[in-house]
Structure 1
Amino acid sequence: MAVQYWVGDHFVDLSRNQITTEQHSQTVPPKALAVLTYLAENHGQVVTYDQLLNRVWPNTVVTPNTLQRSIAQLRKVLGDKHQSIIKTHAKQGYSLDSGVVWQTEVQPTSKSFADRDLDQVNEGYDAASTSNTSSSTGALKLGISGIRPVLVALTFIGLAVALAWTKLTEDDDLPGSSEPQLSFNSLRSLTASDDKEFSAVYSPDGQHIAFHRYVNQLCMNNLWAKNTATQEETRLTEDLGTYSGVSFSPSGDKLAFISTYDCDKPSPQERCYNLMGLDFRKALEQPAPSVLMAECKNTALRDPIWLDDDNIVVMQLFESRWKLIHYSISENKSTVLHEVDDGNLLSFDFSKSESLFAVSTRGNDGKHYIDMLALNGEVLSSNQIQYPDELSKFRLVFPKFDSARNRLIFSSGKLLFALSYDGEVQRINVPLDFKVEAPSFHPNGKSLLLIKKWYDSDVAIAPIRVPTAAPGAAPSLISSGAEVTDVAVVDRSTLEDDNGIFQPNGDLIAFVSDRSGEDQVWLADESDSRKASHFPLNTYINGVDWSEDGDSMLVNANGSLTQLFLDGSQRRVAFEYPVIFLFQWDSTNNSALLVSTIDGVTQFIELNLATLEYQTISTRKIIWAQKSHQAGLVFMDALNRFWQPGALENQMIDALTEQGSNKRFVIRDQVIYGINQVNELWSYDVSTSAFTVLRTISDNVDTLTDVGADRILFDLLVAEKKEVVELSLSE
């Protein structure tokens, strides 16, 4: 049995009789740890009092109070005041409901790692998003989505981790090898600014890393480099912009990245895309101007990778499907290298040492595949990815080469996985207490870059109108110093709490939180909160809504719809396609508004939950939608414009032009409530066309999530952080 393991965010070390949480270690009596370990071995199951007594105190007469004291000690150390980790089952026993990750013993090896990985695209929508109108020609989006100002800087939590990598099956036609286990001996932070860093890659000689640094106050970013030996940082780009993706040329002399900007009107899309180049050696001496290599005003671009100093491969979005494009700089010409007719491309990587492309795709059958391509785009193999139990079957994967071992690697949050060329997946045992993305390997195989990300938000409640204030008082929801005025936080934690919604015909507020280690649905009232769902480790939730009677909720967990009842029971909706976003549930008509990827195309649909038949409303990118019996259906596109269905075509609501934002909107009866770009909370009565500004809010109000008779619920951003960290391989 492993002597070290994780219970949620708590690291248990039996060899030292310690439990560590956020670098704070506490010594725990061995018997109490033995109780915890037996519960962990049976996590999710009820362990009876007799089973625990016989296991921990064999052949010893003890009273039940002895066991109760051990449970109390554990709850105190784990901060489990609401008994959400160790749950009591009256007259039965106890169960451990938090996720458990065991740390296996590993042997050091001198063998190496190699290559890089990709920034993870926003859980499916950007990777397979629908575009507006596009042309069939042009060259060359990895949009920087979800980036919001940081109010509180975070301190890096150091962690020594062990990493086990087991044998992957060798492909019959492609290179592949069996490798012994690997282990890492340290983890360190490479960036520690007040801003956010992402898309980090090593230079070909390993002497530098290049990364993007997002400046929170300006909502823009620059490209930076860091010398791995001296730790000296250098700004590379002369001007701030909206940049994403970065790749070194094989010589290490050049960089390629994507620049995104607002399109001139009229334009079929909100954002335009440029493929940019930069002289890396000159930029190390002083910030240098970037050079435009190719421009796209009708299509989207993302993830450029150099093949050699004259050729780049990039993903380009045509209408609703991504294609792999080969671009020649000297000829200023692009050609399609790879595309699929029965699905959509998700990501790709290139191994120079093997002259291979690895392309992940999602087929029209809803399954995921890994395609291996030759340098000319010829498909050498195409295999379905065999998802393990720890990975939802709808989870998108963005694998990158570990060329030293002829395999790939990808992240799914707090977990890392290895992927063979024939589609087999093995979990890498890295018990992290924070989310990571974009693994990227050093050329010598002795270290690994990751992007550590952390997000702290609260569900907050406030009056829908400004309370009576003294003359001259600012009518803001929150003061400029971010001190609460008329705002109440529903249930504070230091992690992500969001998507609060009022219970119909009740006093509860449902919200989503990852405080237990993965996304779960929680319920709060005036005095307490409790976990309502028990989804497995590595769960992600994109959408929750109440039934109209308030007795159950519809949850989009891991891309599947589940009806969750207040007694903890649940019923899965057997819809065969992945659900990207759940907008709303109409329990009376048993239908749901959602975004799903069907036959490789991401669509906004209305789904009949009884028959599983669906109606496609739009194949354009829809970012939010709501419906009521009085106002009908209203949805907002990527340009933040409001639409309603018409007799022959969708009709834009002209009165709400310039009133949309990424803070969403809510419909109650015949009234639409929203937040505009200048942070005004407004209402619009569909029946009378009356538009009213209700109050001003602070820009750290992140998302409007629900509206009651006289109150609103919203997500309140507390802090956000992304930084580059490095795992070092044991010799």
Structure 2
Amino acid sequence: MQHYWIGDFFIDLSRNQITHHNTSQTLAPKALAVLTYLAEQQGKVVSQDELLDNVWAGTVVSPNTLQRSIAQLRKALGDDGKTQVLIKTHAKKGYSLECEVCTEKVAEEPTTQVLPVDAASVDAAPVDAASVDAAPVDTAPVDTASMADGHEPVLKTAKVPVKLGAMIITLCAMFMAGFHYFSSSKPVHISVSEIRALTATDYKESGGIYSPDGQFIVFSRYSDALCINHIWAKNIETQEEFQLTKNLRVYGAHSFSSDGNKLTFITQDQCDKPITQKMCYQLVSLDFTQALSAPQSPTVLMECKNSEIRKPMWLNNNDIALLQKRSDAWKLIRYSVSQGESTPLYHLPDGSINDFDVSNDGKKIALTGFHSDGHYYIEMLTPKGEVLSSHRIEYPNSVAPHRLIYPNFSPMADQLIFSTGRRLFTVTQQGKVAEISLPLDQPIGVPVVHPQGQKMLAIKGHYDSDVVIGALDDVANMVTQTEQGAQADAYTVLHRSNVAEDSATFSPDSQLIAYISERSGDPQVWLTDGNKTRQLSSFAMDSEVFGLKWANHGGSLLVNVNRSLTRIRLDAQGDTYTFDYPIERLFQWDSVSNTALAQISINGIVKLALLNLDQLSVHVLLDSQVVWADRSADGQVVYMDKMHRFWRLASLEAQHLDALQAQGSRKRFVINNGALYGINEALQLWSYQLDTGEFTIIGAAPSNVDYLTDVNATHVLMDIKLSSKKEVVELILGG
């Protein structure tokens, strides 16, 4: 049967959709196949083996795959797994569908509002940093942990929810004071005469760009919890909206051809037969005019299964420039639409490109990246890749030395504009950086300037996450109870706030817990004893924190702030360790030997290394980027690669941990007291003894878990994601 009803839910297998009250959700075909098989056996208990044999016939999969499909179905049917009204779990027996199934109802195809597919059905992609936050680029100032973990990048903004009217009043007050674009000759005064919201919905919108004629904006729209989206257009004058893409996919940021007839962007999906990476990438194009009449399926121009591509931008000769990552270094390539082939455009020998932008007329390319001397440069190129100028970027004191810059062309010929979060800056083609605005109340993505220069688009929003703590005994007891039914009893929010709080870690010698919170406006280190909480650090505005670890016996913390390591004592005094390389991620710290396991960037290429903090020396352990890593007390280093496989470093070569096959996920892992703890794709918390190889499923993680951050002898700490909101706003310039 291709169509049937389960209660008030209309199941359309031809479209892979479940519709309820004129709202449709698209699910993975296998999940709907599970539902259909249960519907055919309505009221009967169907074993896991029977479901696996019939739905995945001829394919070897684990029970976790079935459990993931059941979780997707329950979410789509509003069945939370605790009450189990529709799909019931029978302990050690299987599942049953406890609802009337009807194939006789005649239902017209409903008018639907299509919602993104459940995130569990698609491995959240290594969408580049700014595919959601800054347009038209695929990279922007975001949480780079998201990049490393291979999932959707998130712009961690100051997340105090603000009514749109209050936000606009605040921004207007700040911008009406005016700000300056500093050119090489004299400053130019620009003020904002009006700020208006363009996409104020319950969905998350990002990646806004203007059409070349300035009539439309194009943006991505997806739900708070999912990474799968549609691309939409909006007529700025009439406010009419148009869904451009026909199918829900992982779509990256987009770029218009110079005539405004076509869009290009990157799509991502799980590889059918992954070899070096889980996600495969496609460069696609879409006929914009046709899509305004009816949603279209994009045309595939190029596919990459063993390399990453991001940020396509149309050039003035109808070629597309984009970044490709090979051997952990990013290079600029050019795809010829007419010839159907790609060729190298520009690369940095022994270095890596970070970001680029194309001028509105398509005649100039601005590029930032690391050279072989380890310094950060801005370069201007022709569309043929010829270098017009190359200058090292000179950071002012107000910008952290290792801050990555994602610039867009501005109305000033010699200027590019970029954001550090709550502040805006310009950088000249000669590498001079200057601040151009008063601090904002909330961070924004990189502003995108209107083709005529009198307007700018920006992305604003908030992100809300909390730290939860769970007793391991309580989590383990959930295994014998209804599936995930005891989650509320097993996990407790540490200190509820409406801002980003994460990365909690236990002190080894006291009841203190350290964590990162934005409740004071910027990411800071906070301490709690379970009752009271206090701010420990005082990092500068727009600081970025990429990990914190306790000393072996407590008393101080090592924090990776702005890609530099700082040791903070409990009296708030600190010392900074100045390495020659940016520290991308801090994984572990042994304060006795004063060594740290971290990812570092050498000429823009990320490597796993052991740092000696006393000698400020670096020992590279692995010449490639990892998703996550940790080191045991006896010095064993374990890491997870882009395929979410676990490896243990040895003197000759890394050893694959076969027992942990299919147990990895983007939710990270920790090592404590000789045991490795992780969360798999089925949201199960597990442990693995490094010495004996004993593997144990401990219990269920929260359904909205973001990361596993620490474990001690009795408790576990995790980050949970509560909400994320983004919208496109337009700044009307004057002055």
Query: Which interval holds the TM-score relative to the shorter structure?
Result: 0.7 to 0.9
- Equivalent-residue separation in structure 2 for 1:180 and 1:511 (angstroms): 43
Contact persistence 2:244–2:291 (CA under 8 A): yes
Give the partner amino acid of 1:118.
V
Give the partner amino acid of 1:347.
D
Contact persistence 1:559–1:580 (CA under 8 A): yes
1:629 Cα deviation after fit: 2.8
After TM superposition, the structure 1 = structure 2 runs for residues 162-561 of structure 1, keeping only pairs within 5 Å, are 162=175, 164-166=178-180, 168-170=182-184, 178-216=186-224, 219-308=227-316, 310-353=318-361, 355-466=363-474, 473-474=481-482, 476=484, 479=487, 484-561=488-565
1:510 Cα deviation after fit: 0.4
- Equivalent-residue separation in structure 2 for 1:477 and 1:540 (angstroms): 37
Contact persistence 1:117–1:439 (CA under 8 A): no
- Equivalent-residue separation in structure 1 for 2:668 and 2:188 (angstroms): 49
- Deviation per CA, 1:613-670: give whole Å up to 9, x if none: 2222222221211111358211111211111013421111111111111111111111
Contact persistence 2:479–2:698 (CA under 8 A): no
Which of 581, 603, 610 aligns to 2:607? It is 603
Give the partner amino acid of 1:245.
A
1:465 Cα deviation after fit: 2.8
Contact persistence 1:623–1:637 (CA under 8 A): yes
Contact persistence 1:122–1:145 (CA under 8 A): no
In structure 1, what is the equivalent of residue 89 of structure 2? none
Shift in alpha-carbon separation, 1:154–1:183, aligned structure 2, 3 A? closer
In structure 2, what is the equivalent of residue 573 of structure 1? 577
- Equivalent-residue separation in structure 1 for 2:178 and 2:386 (angstroms): 34
- Equivalent-residue separation in structure 1 for 2:355 and 2:633 (angstroms): 41
The 3-state SS of whatever aligns with 1:377 is coil
1:698 Cα deviation after fit: 2.4
Contact persistence 2:160–2:499 (CA under 8 A): no
1:471 Cα deviation after fit: 12
Query: TM-score scaled by structure 2?
Result: 0.76
1:466 Cα deviation after fit: 2.6
Contact persistence 2:552–2:591 (CA under 8 A): yes
Q: Which has the higher helix share?
A: 2
- Equivalent-residue separation in structure 1 for 2:302 and 2:226 (angstroms): 26
In structure 2, what is the equivalent of residue 693 of structure 1? 697
Shift in alpha-carbon separation, 1:471–1:632, aligned structure 2, 3 A? closer
Shift in alpha-carbon separation, 1:315–1:403, aligned structure 2, 3 A? farther
Is it true that 1:586 corresponds to 2:590 in the alignment?
yes
Shift in alpha-carbon separation, 1:430–1:233, aligned structure 2, 3 A? farther
1:352 Cα deviation after fit: 4.0
Give the partner amino acid of 2:576.
R
Give the partner amino acid of 2:444.
V
- Equivalent-residue separation in structure 2 for 1:495 and 1:572 (angstroms): 27
Contact persistence 1:242–1:261 (CA under 8 A): yes
- Equivalent-residue separation in structure 1 for 2:496 and 2:479 (angstroms): 32
- Equivalent-residue separation in structure 2 for 1:724 and 1:120 (angstroms): 17
Shift in alpha-carbon separation, 1:281–1:694, aligned structure 2, 3 A? same
Shift in alpha-carbon separation, 1:501–1:627, aligned structure 2, 3 A? same
Contact persistence 2:418–2:426 (CA under 8 A): yes
- Equivalent-residue separation in structure 2 for 1:126 and 1:505 (angstroms): 28
1:180 Cα deviation after fit: 2.0
1:561 Cα deviation after fit: 0.4
Which sits farther off after the overlay, 387-396 or 303-312? Answer: 303-312
The 3-state SS of whatever aligns with 2:188 is coil
Is it true that 1:625 corresponds to 2:635 in the alignment?
no
Contact persistence 1:128–1:321 (CA under 8 A): no
Which sits farther off after the overlay, 263-272 or 699-708? Answer: 263-272
- Equivalent-residue separation in structure 2 for 1:373 and 1:128 (angstroms): 27
- Deviation per CA, 1:347-400: give whole Å up to 9, x if none: 111114372111111223332211011232211111111112221110100101
- Equivalent-residue separation in structure 2 for 1:541 and 1:124 (angstroms): 9
Aligned residues: 594
1:167 Cα deviation after fit: 5.4
Which sits farther off after the overlay, 246-255 or 315-324? Answer: 315-324
- Deviation per CA, 1:466-501: give whole Å up to 9, x if none: 37979985363865xxxx423322222211111111
Contact persistence 2:276–2:643 (CA under 8 A): no
- Deviation per CA, 1:179-202: give whole Å up to 9, x if none: 521111332221123322221100
After TM superposition, the structure 1 = structure 2 runs for residues 104-143 of structure 1, keeping only pairs within 5 Å, are 118-121=137-140
In structure 2, what is the equivalent of residue 139 of structure 1? none
Shift in alpha-carbon separation, 1:164–1:419, aligned structure 2, 3 A? farther
- Equivalent-residue separation in structure 2 for 1:428 and 1:478 (angstroms): 52
Gaps of 5+ in 1: 1-114, 131-141, 171-176
Which sits farther off after the overlay, 618-627 or 673-682? Answer: 618-627
CA RMSD, Structure 1 to Structure 2 (Å): 2.7
- Equivalent-residue separation in structure 1 for 2:370 and 2:557 (angstroms): 29
- Deviation per CA, 1:112-162: give whole Å up to 9, x if none: xxx9653434759699989xxxxxxxxxxx9733599xx999854333131
The 3-state SS of whatever aligns with 2:490 is coil
- Equivalent-residue separation in structure 1 for 2:478 and 2:144 (angstroms): 46
The 3-state SS of whatever aligns with 1:485 is helix
In structure 1, what is the equivalent of residue 667 of structure 2? 663
The 3-state SS of whatever aligns with 2:670 is strand
Identity of aligned residues (%): 39
Relative contact order: is structure 1 or structure 2 higher (C-alpha 8 Å, sep ≥ 6)?
Answer: 1
Give the partner amino acid of 1:456.
D
Query: TM-score scaled by structure 1?
Result: 0.77
Which sits farther off after the overlay, 613-622 or 443-452? Answer: 613-622
- Equivalent-residue separation in structure 2 for 1:490 and 1:153 (angstroms): 20
Contact persistence 2:225–2:724 (CA under 8 A): no
Contact persistence 2:511–2:529 (CA under 8 A): yes
Contact persistence 1:402–1:441 (CA under 8 A): yes
Contact persistence 2:411–2:453 (CA under 8 A): no
In structure 1, what is the equivalent of residue 44 of structure 2? none
In structure 1, what is the equivalent of residue 57 of structure 2? none
